[in-house]
Structure 1
């Protein structure tokens, strides 16, 4: 295969300073991927993939959205077409993703995992499909091998409170040198308006070995599962919410709201917000007690296409950016916990770029000197984990906080081929700092700036999470 000379050694690095920063301070840093949706079962069993479609296209709704935009029939996306047909449909789509981050990621991943320099398109698809599939049969291309190739030191998957963590326990007893932890994701216990809420509580009760008939029972069940997760190495939680609620209510009101729901009665939007506020505060205080880091992914407008949601289910590519009011309720929530001295380390992720300054300035209100970078403005995620979104997040944080204590990038991915996104982030980071060194906006002090880059790439996260 002829080199396309696209993913070069200087990819995205536009100054000598940027190249020096990347090569000497960022490139070789290990990866701590502290939030993703990888399958712990596949890691524990060291799954080997039959072909590239299984590891690269299955479950990737970024690619699915692009294919649909190009008029690709759903048969070749999530339907019953063969794996090869699905790959060919994706390959035909790739040339049309110019200026979308998918074009960068596609070729970066082919280069880093498989040594392929050829541009992926309809003409090269057959060659690349066969070449990658041949490599996937080799032992070093199993799930664990793919993680090792990228220098992953620690990764943190995301599990529901009802999860048995059996695969995490298997991994903890294995000789696998990469640490695999988990994050506690109790959204289903929080979103009381869901039609499936009561059936979920029955599952949660079984996992906690108690019947959940009252609000106190729910709190007891969640605490029981937090204790279980903690005993199995969990030190993080995560919440995927549109926004944080803050509508205070008495214990009696919350008990009554919960009781109504358990009886199958309708609850109002205001009642739902009161309940969600109460349970989030309870969880926040409990996380503080256990010394966990709490994460909030805020701002998505999910399941917009109800027809396709009914056909394919959630997380299949029908979500977008929401425009919710965020500042006041986040402030009230954090202030309530801080006022009780029960605010644990917190990461706030923002999906709406219009709110970057809101989030970047909010964290400064609750960085109280007790812990370096205690409250973090999380990296650009989902629609914002591309070059422009990364730069905007870094600029907002730099202008209103201290980017030097930022804990860096994560994949938030379901794919074992997504880890070059850490390289992508590091290249963007080094180019941003390098350009300002070249222009004189930053001192041309390689050690000073380089150590900052190294800290953002790895050391800050290492210290912050204390895995």
Structure 2
């Protein structure tokens, strides 16, 4: 029996299964720049143009995707997030990579090695680890692979970081003063003030007082402090907010007197009833939504994560360390009520909805289409495949739902949601999957066999739409 073994592993046409897909990708998707409108990158590393000594610093620090994979393979925690030397931690990842076959991490790892590190035709494994460690350190020493050089190599034009209202945004200011063509923009993430039931809330209010210069004693004082921070963020280029809503809930907002009492009790670290905390969060979220609408900002809602399900992992290592899961919650009715309450006041900002449980795709996409606005194409967006969904079938499911329940032509496209500068290869991964889907539909006669027409759609989703959505007022 003769086997066809001529298809190269992750060659130039990786994931591109038709001639139309290849033309769409190479001629239309690949040349487009990147606007990454949601990330967890460090603005300090970008502003300071950090030089990374090794792949552990650049690749493994803060990457809970890789940490989860290493734990799956039985690597001890000392070599993942512990006190092991950088070279030993990298070896632990190299030992894990061969076990990642079939996991998107295997593809992402080798996409990132090939570009921008330029390490091709070498699969990462325990036996190649030393070679890749040495070659990558040599290349990381060159200015082209310092932080800003990495971003430039990916043609990144805009990066939106995720920032607490108390942040001073010093790195964003310093970067703007340097005259870089890269726009480094903050994103207003007020989770710590919305989640009034969380431990340490009184301490957070003290920090917010210091940042805003407003003494917080009553609910109106809290709004004044947040108003100051919103203005401050706007002055530093902010045009987005972001919220993590594990389970959106909606109740009629309490009276001003009741909100004062609730806030006072939390200032004294007293516990609240579920109704009280939900009422407070609803009132504050609606106030924030109106503020975003007044400023022309985009509101992002990340929905349905089950965070830190391992209490031992949270206690020993901390949050955002790979101990999260897909939540099993029902929230469609409450989310609709939140959006409707703002819409009734004509104060619903442009909004992007992200779901972690893929069963919610159709619900969220249909909800997004229920709140249109004159002159704003795709005002409420069914957002990109997020977190556990940002692999091939998750991206294909999200795009299919987008096509069938909305208008793909106005979709704002992919983002990294990452803490690693190398993760911009995920935009390339998305673009290949996207072009392959369109190419397959063209081959089946479901789309016109018109490369120029479909190419315009590709360029819009890869870059043009998000630029319009964020920056056109």
Query: Which bracket does the TM-score occupy, shorter chain normalised?
Result: over 0.9
Deviates more, 1:243-252 or 1:91-100: 243-252
Matched position secondary structure for 1:128? helix
1:324 aligns with 2:329: yes
The residue aligned with 2:72 is: 69
1:228 aligns with 2:232: yes
1:83 aligns with 2:86: yes
In 1: Cα distance, 2:97 partner to 2:254 partner: 55
The 8 Å contact of residues 157 and 181 in structure 1, kept in 2 or not, is answered as: yes
Task: Please list, as runs of the form range in 1=range in 2, the aligned pairs for 1:37-436 lying within 5 A after superposition.
Answer: 37-117=40-120, 118-251=122-255, 252-436=257-441
Relative to the length of structure 1, the TM-score reads 0.98
In 2: Cα distance, 1:107 partner to 1:320 partner: 26
In 2: Cα distance, 1:343 partner to 1:102 partner: 37
In 2: Cα distance, 1:403 partner to 1:96 partner: 36
The 8 Å contact of residues 299 and 349 in structure 2, kept in 1 or not, is answered as: yes
The residue aligned with 2:470 is: 465
In 1: Cα distance, 2:314 partner to 2:449 partner: 52
The 8 Å contact of residues 294 and 346 in structure 1, kept in 2 or not, is answered as: yes
Shift of 1:250: 2.9
Relative to the length of structure 2, the TM-score reads 0.97
Deviates more, 1:248-257 or 1:210-219: 248-257
User: RMSD of aligned C-alpha atoms?
Assistant: 1.2
In 2: Cα distance, 1:114 partner to 1:164 partner: 33
Shift of 1:326: 1.7
Shift of 1:245: 2.1
Deviations 1:381-415 (A, max 9, x none): 11111111101111111111111100000001000
In 1: Cα distance, 2:258 partner to 2:446 partner: 56
Among candidates 447, 451, 456, match of residue 442 of structure 1? 447
The residue aligned with 1:453 is: 458
Q: Which runs of 5+ in 2 are unaligned?
A: 1-6
Matched position secondary structure for 1:365? coil
Aligned length: 465
Matched position secondary structure for 1:188? helix
In 1: Cα distance, 2:18 partner to 2:331 partner: 38
Deviations 1:117-149 (A, max 9, x none): 211111111111111011111111100011001
In 1: Cα distance, 2:130 partner to 2:267 partner: 55
In 2: Cα distance, 1:172 partner to 1:128 partner: 35
The 8 Å contact of residues 384 and 398 in structure 2, kept in 1 or not, is answered as: yes
Deviations 1:413-467 (A, max 9, x none): 0001100100000000000000010011111111221111110011101111117
The 8 Å contact of residues 112 and 423 in structure 2, kept in 1 or not, is answered as: yes
The 8 Å contact of residues 18 and 435 in structure 1, kept in 2 or not, is answered as: yes
Deviates more, 1:360-369 or 1:331-340: 360-369
In 2: Cα distance, 1:263 partner to 1:136 partner: 50
The 8 Å contact of residues 236 and 292 in structure 1, kept in 2 or not, is answered as: yes
The 8 Å contact of residues 384 and 413 in structure 2, kept in 1 or not, is answered as: yes
Shift of 1:244: 2.1
Matched position secondary structure for 2:173? helix
Matched position secondary structure for 2:423? coil
The 8 Å contact of residues 7 and 111 in structure 1, kept in 2 or not, is answered as: no
In 2: Cα distance, 1:458 partner to 1:429 partner: 13
In 2: Cα distance, 1:433 partner to 1:444 partner: 10
In 1: Cα distance, 2:390 partner to 2:318 partner: 24
In 2: Cα distance, 1:289 partner to 1:103 partner: 44
In 1: Cα distance, 2:62 partner to 2:465 partner: 31
Matched position secondary structure for 1:237? strand
Matched position secondary structure for 1:238? strand
Q: Which runs of 5+ in 1 are unaligned?
A: none
